[in-house]
Structure 1
């Protein structure tokens, strides 16, 4: 069997990956999607081809032109987007780390080098595979040279393969005649113009008939197609030039040694560390842990499982200023504790014998009184142990979130890489694979010890850099006064949960089912036939073809039936209105009526998880289940709140901030008119309508008030004239006029919002009133849509983030007051600007006062914070 060489067109494959795959960013904010896509294709082709030799060719610079004497023909290439340009050195660094040979030569493009090496390799009797997204390379195909071209179809990357026979079969010309085709029909990608009036079909016909451009020209008078004949006669010199531009050089003076390009071990320690740095987690399992972790810390890991040893260990820990702690556990149990006394002494205490969860809880609670417990996730630890809110703890995950709220995860190995000079530590998936903690504990796997120790070590080591960075960025107070106390507040809410009446939930589901079936029959009746309402394809055909409703937008898969399109049609078409209601009720049924029933625990309560590190603005989110997204627009949606009830002897007190984000906008912008309106307790939407439309306050119509309300809240979210026109069903011109009048009415707001965008551009981030930062990398994007999104983010984040900070401060204060005053009442739910207290009936006056004082006193603004408060025997009544 012949030896094989794989030759890759570096720029071409990188470019294809850039446009064919979603963008990714590294933890440092670098664009990495194209590099990731390139490596995916590389690994796939390597596994398929199994070559002995490998080289990647690059143009010397971008753009370069093969024929420097004709710059006007190739000089109009679009410049490489900045997001792609910054990835080229990253890719070359990765290839170097993997020991892959790269080649380039001044004055020659990558395909010239590929052509040269393909020819030389064939002459040596080798099999050649050329990987490129450029079909020009098909001219190199032969019996020995295979051209492989990736393409994206239906979201998947397919790779077409061509030897010379496949080229002839597919294009009806030989590989060498590909050049002739290009001469006639041109190539927009390479700015090869070809000749006017000759497309692919005519060009193929001419080359099949005459073989070459020269021969076609010699027999031009015989060409039956008048336009092609006249064009060839008139533009023959252009065709010759295009042919020269399309021809790949196969005898460039590039220096190349096969031995240097021999495929070795690509999965080196350097490549592993770079994959970690770029957050290419899916590639990490390709590396041999023993090889890439040669500087393993595991010699510093010790197991301590006897009672006397554990007692001595905790006594030693009590002498330290801080220790790293990791508690391994899940819903099924607690399995072990990692304890880092310093960088060189890391212990694992398995839960067995005397070291029970209760023992560990007691020891850690005692330890936390004087020694700082540094953990990756304090709230997760609190699921297994009890700590008082005044315990000395440091939450590394929350600290890292504040410093970079755009990330999706804050794992220990990521923090080690980001804050310990790129230190490579094996991730949980590398140690345990898909094995659960419980299974690893039952099997007494040594990797469980390693996991606990690595987590404790990282928590101990990153605390210093994180604290320093928080102080450097002026977010230390946000961390210590808002986020860290919130851990204990949220933990309490999760543990209490909220009671749900299962039988009433079932009845509610039955009620929904009846209405859904009514709507189904009504929709079928109006359509004149039965069809699957949940099928967008069938629904599109019914609405826009059979019923002839105007406004349908056809896509590749059929008509779009998205909510925004249907909502525009609903006022004029009863069937569309019924379909929207059907969808909403079906969502209610599946997500809430059925979904909530599945998560009611043995105590009859739902225990949602409240997340601090998910949203970029600082808002708390709720998952498993999401209790913050219960519908409120429809009465039937609101009715689901009736199934949430307090325990016997308790009632619900619900307190909701009134227009908090508009009040924050008034304060932060300093706009005197808006501030004065709030101070005079005006109806802010009616007042805005009065001032925008220049009419007396008492003459403002409900429609004008509604429009002013949309503008008021839209401004907070950086709404565009297009967005407002969609919301109000008015023209874009009218919407732009509304916005302009609004800014004329409240002139300081426009300057404030513009200033936020400028701050985002200058500093790379915007800040809340309390100093929380939100990076806005989109402002530097070369993509207009991305920049526009960035501007909206820059305007909205400080306002929404400040409101989020205020509600968090209020939550912490309310929770602390309930504890300090030893009340039976407890905070059980937070939904955006709303707090729900399960209140002991005898404590209603006291709890009402606490809510009023702490929510209003959470921040001192130029306008007073207002709170709406209600009570009831279920959440529906309280709201």
Structure 2
């Protein structure tokens, strides 16, 4: 008899449970009905199926490919109710506490992961049971894959079961033709638009007759009734898009093994505590029944005696490797594991004060060669400074190994055992880093960066609160001016922030052409309005109004709420967010300060240095193009940089076939767009949009560019071929970026994968170089015992708050360390400026 795996669609089932189970809350006011209903369905399925394996799939917060595609065409998805939204992370924690693996991956929806896992199971001879309320998944049904769909009728949950023949019996089409059916009839619950005017009955008849939408379109003149024929003729593009939206990816790069998914004991102490806290009294009986068969947890040695603690810390100093974690619960607790994998927990009590524990932990870190922990940067607030060469951050290691995951947080909820989990992970992660050629990247760039970023976060950047208030007032004044102008031009007062009202004004009352009408009204997205702005003053005012209101809410108001008591903003810098290796900034995001419009740039004036200090701003000049020149080996581009020529003017001369001294400013701007577009794998369509030219002209520009720099063309083509063969591309420093999109059956996703393959090595190498420069500048300032501090990084730009007395020396350090951060075939150049505020320095 075959083994069996149950795969649950997490968001689908909790959503169905939320609407099917009466509202429940626990003592803390948390809504729990979705979680409770989910667990009841899960336990019912497990009791009925008795599988060997179990996993639950969830969508990530970031929009997946199909969401992006739909949103670009039709609008945003219906938001999840807050009462349900708050239950999702709790459900994930509860499932993790039960030891159930969660399938989540950036760029893939839950049904992609379910489909991939089910197909892999079928290939391995394992029966798969998919539990979901999403009819899209019926396309996966075979004799070995069953779809189980819970339905609530009169308060009772019934489950419909579908193998391949069941789908045929119920819908008169095969499982694979469910995709074709959705392409025509759509599915409002899953945001698939379909073809306007074609319902389920007509769609079923068409697919039964023609098999696919492509075949139906090829015979469109034969289609009856006439209404369906005209609908398909006029909206075939929507059918194609809907088919893309409905097609589940079966080749997601899942790393889940059957061993990871093996169903063991769900009734853990941690899960019991969760159910008790959630007030699921009826479910607690399951835990009590399973208690006799529960595997014993590893023994934890609780250390509360001072002498015992002294002996433990003394012994741990002689270890070659340890793991530790800190957590607070009515005082500080230090979880520790040694090479014998014994678990110790030393808690703040009596003579074991917080300071004593932190001092002892710092001593251990300085002595033991390898000390593992999760989120080392967070720990530095307690044990900094320490010997950074000895620390191993398992989250950063996991990020390097797979940069496409949404989170690298420690998943062990049993806090006393957290260090044991870390200890067990370290050898595996170390081996993978070595096998993948990224140990040096980890040791020499990423781990030192933890300390650099920590010091930057602690330093923060000073804000002139009065200047910020005045900036906000100026925005309010401009917003009111624009509001008045827009209302006068429209001839009536209306809500400018309402897309529905705005659409009526522009496309009905004022009769503007180019409006796209949806079920909710006309689309007034930025790309549509920008096409109208050239001839319509009111549209230009509306676009500016949107910019002004965003500046007001995001910066004038948003930044004011982020100023700490010391008068500075302490943004967080993240190492494990972007797939390319770039650092990101949050709480607030200071890397997203506007630069395109003057009023946006003026926000930089509110950022000022401390007393007796000045800002030094150093910005790499065209670093990604220089990296491209080096990595491609294109001799013409390398020579141009070595001769310090104006790259954009030279490119314009070559592409437009004019002498270099006759290149017009417009030609130079166009060449600049091509130069930077090539770095990002721009398509002829994308370039045509940027330059407001035809796709044919843009294609010619790109072809001439590659004729001018043939080494670049062969290099970029080689990157795509390597990614197709190996599944990833690398930077100059060995950083890997997986490109699973290249294996997709979806054309648009494969095209996206090709762009990723072309630009990731360039962007990633530039990011690595900037990190090296940051570490070196930071360390030099410390080594020379300066009071000047590196306080901000914005992509290619470093900002230093320099003491006036040290400014000249700091300039020398910036130039030396940034220009010598990498050895390229072309020089690394920086633009360096001083200023009394960030605006002046920039």
Q: What is the TM-score when the length of structure 1 is the normalising length?
A: 0.69
Q: How does 1:429-828 map to 2 (within 5 A)?
A: 450-451=414-415, 453-828=416-791
Shift of 1:183: 9.2
Q: Tell me whether 1:833 sits opposite 2:832 in the alignment.
A: no
Flag the 1:190–1:638 CA change in 2: closer, same or farther, 3 A. closer
Counterpart of 1:402?
Answer: 400
Alignment deviations for residues 268-307 of structure 1 (CA, whole Å, 9 cap, x no partner): 993469999xxxxx99999977859977563322221232
Give yes or no for contact 2:122–2:144 (8 Å, CA) kept in 1. no
| Partner residue of 2:170 out of 137, 141, 153 | 137
Flag the 1:320–1:509 CA change in 2: closer, same or farther, 3 A. same
- Runs of 5+ unmatched residues, structure 2: 1-5, 17-33, 52-110, 132-139, 146-156, 173-181, 193-198, 228-259, 269-273
Shift of 1:852: 0.3
Flag the 1:368–1:89 CA change in 2: closer, same or farther, 3 A. closer
Q: Partners in 1 of 2:297 and 2:204 — Cα distance? A: 61
- Runs of 5+ unmatched residues, structure 1: 1-9, 22-38, 57-79, 101-108, 115-126, 140-148, 158-169, 172-177, 203-267, 277-281, 414-426, 429-449
Q: Partners in 2 of 1:776 and 1:740 — Cα distance? A: 25
Q: Partners in 1 of 2:267 and 2:735 — Cα distance? A: 30
Counterpart of 2:136?
Answer: none
Q: How does 1:255-404 map to 2 (within 5 A)?
A: 270-271=262-263, 298-329=297-328, 335-342=332-339, 344-371=341-368, 372-388=370-386, 390-404=388-402
Shift of 1:714: 0.1
Alignment deviations for residues 137-180 of structure 1 (CA, whole Å, 9 cap, x no partner): 389xxxxxxxxx999534489xxxxxxxxxxxx99xxxxxx9xx
Alignment deviations for residues 499-534 of structure 1 (CA, whole Å, 9 cap, x no partner): 112222111111111111111111111111111111
Q: Partners in 1 of 2:592 and 2:169 — Cα distance? A: 53
Alignment deviations for residues 182-221 of structure 1 (CA, whole Å, 9 cap, x no partner): 8999566699999x9896999xxxxxxxxxxxxxxxxxxx
Shift of 1:573: 1.3
Flag the 1:45–1:659 CA change in 2: closer, same or farther, 3 A. same
Instruction: State which drifts further: 385-394 or 635-644.
Output: 385-394
Secondary structure of 2:326's aligned partner: strand
Secondary structure of 2:614's aligned partner: strand
Give yes or no for contact 1:368–1:391 (8 Å, CA) kept in 2. no
Give yes or no for contact 1:111–1:137 (8 Å, CA) kept in 2. no
Flag the 1:111–1:349 CA change in 2: closer, same or farther, 3 A. closer
Alignment deviations for residues 543-568 of structure 1 (CA, whole Å, 9 cap, x no partner): 12211222222233222222122222
Shift of 1:87: 2.7
Give yes or no for contact 1:828–1:836 (8 Å, CA) kept in 2. yes
Give yes or no for contact 2:267–2:287 (8 Å, CA) kept in 1. no
Shift of 1:471: 1.1
Counterpart of 2:826?
Answer: 863
Q: Partners in 2 of 1:334 and 1:836 — Cα distance? A: 38
Q: Partners in 2 of 1:727 and 1:380 — Cα distance? A: 42
Q: Partners in 1 of 2:112 and 2:190 — Cα distance? A: 22
Residues paired across the two proteins, number: 672
Instruction: State which drifts further: 361-370 or 282-291.
Output: 282-291
Flag the 1:308–1:46 CA change in 2: closer, same or farther, 3 A. closer
Q: Partners in 1 of 2:531 and 2:783 — Cα distance? A: 53
Shift of 1:93: 8.7
Q: What is the TM-score when the length of structure 2 is the normalising length?
A: 0.72
Q: How does 1:102-141 map to 2 (within 5 A)?
A: 130-131=160-161, 134=167, 136-137=169-170
Flag the 1:523–1:386 CA change in 2: closer, same or farther, 3 A. same
Shift of 1:770: 0.9
Give yes or no for contact 2:366–2:386 (8 Å, CA) kept in 1. no
Secondary structure of 1:394's aligned partner: strand
Q: Partners in 2 of 1:733 and 1:274 — Cα distance? A: 60
Secondary structure of 1:628's aligned partner: helix
Shift of 1:873: 1.1
Flag the 1:327–1:840 CA change in 2: closer, same or farther, 3 A. same
Flag the 1:197–1:718 CA change in 2: closer, same or farther, 3 A. closer
Alignment deviations for residues 765-804 of structure 1 (CA, whole Å, 9 cap, x no partner): 0010111111101111111001000000000000000000
